[in-house]
Amino acid sequence: MSQNVKILVVDDESRICESLTSLLGSHGYEIRTALSGMQAKQLIKDFRFDIALLDHVLPDMLGHELIDKIEGKNRYSRAIIMTGNASVDSAVTALRKGAYDYLRKPFEITELVKTVQNALSHLRLQKQNDTIQEKLAASKRHFQYLVHHSPDIIYTLNPDGCFTFVNQSMEAVVGLKADRIIGRHYSTIVGQNKAVRCRWIINERRTGNRAKQWNELKL
């Protein structure tokens, strides 16, 4: 994955940009650098970055002001703030503005690499989770389509025998819209003279001791 990872380094010290380009480039990452917020904005406009290493104080803005633009171009991205200010307040501010993590200058090489790797792992987990959620949503939509377009009446009852769900076939077969049935007792559509038999059929299905494979009721 490292060969496809694009990292943006924004720092007003060219020496730091060069060092990070060499260091992170040796791990297979593609690096772009900017010496100011305006230069960074142009790169963000032209490229989609996975990781952004942002100096907290730039000549023309604060580093965290770029986070929204980076994530707006690629929601699967993480920003890491680099700060020479060791105060906790500046770090907390950056995290509140959406930064994934922060590094205090001067930082160790191993600390930098580990932080980048952790951010990438977090991104992978987010992508995997989103993929799972999308598949579940698609499966749910497919199931709902099958249920609502079934020619048979499909319904659910609560323990009191009241409807909690009916599909569209209820209106086609009985002539009653769902909002007139939800919350009402099933005897509403079978009639009082069939209520005893209907109760026996439903309870039989609940117990699992089925005397018949199917039953018919006139609605």
Backbone φ/ψ region at 206: left (φ over 0), alpha (ψ -120 to 50), beta: alpha
pLDDT for 152:
87
| DSSP classification of residue 2 | G
Per-residue pLDDT band at 41 (split at 50, 70, 90): very high
pLDDT for 207:
61
User: Is the pLDDT at 106 greater than 60, yes or no?
Assistant: yes
The CA distance from 83 to 57, in Å, is: 7
pLDDT for 87:
64
Q: Tokens 């018919």 sit at which residue?
A: 216
Higher pLDDT pick, 106 / 198: 106
Higher pLDDT pick, 105 / 19: 19
Buried b (16+ CB within 10 A) or exposed e, 140-173: eeeeeeeeeeeeebebeeeeeebbeebbebbeee
Q: For 50-64, what is each residue's pLDDT tens digit? A: 999 999 889 999 888
Per-residue pLDDT band at 44 (split at 50, 70, 90): very high
pTM for this entry: 0.67
> Nearest-5° angle of CA 70, CA 136, CA 127?
25
Nearest to 112 by CA among 43, 25, 40: 25
pLDDT for 79:
94
pLDDT for 201:
73
Within its chain, how far is the Cα of 138 from the centroid?
14
Q: For 146-201, what is each residue's pLDDT tens digit? A: 888 888 888 898 988 899 999 988 888 888 888 888 998 888 888 666 777 777 77
Q: Cα–Cα distances in Å, from 204 out to 109, 193, 194, 219?
A: 70, 19, 15, 19
The CA distance from 162 to 187, in Å, is: 9
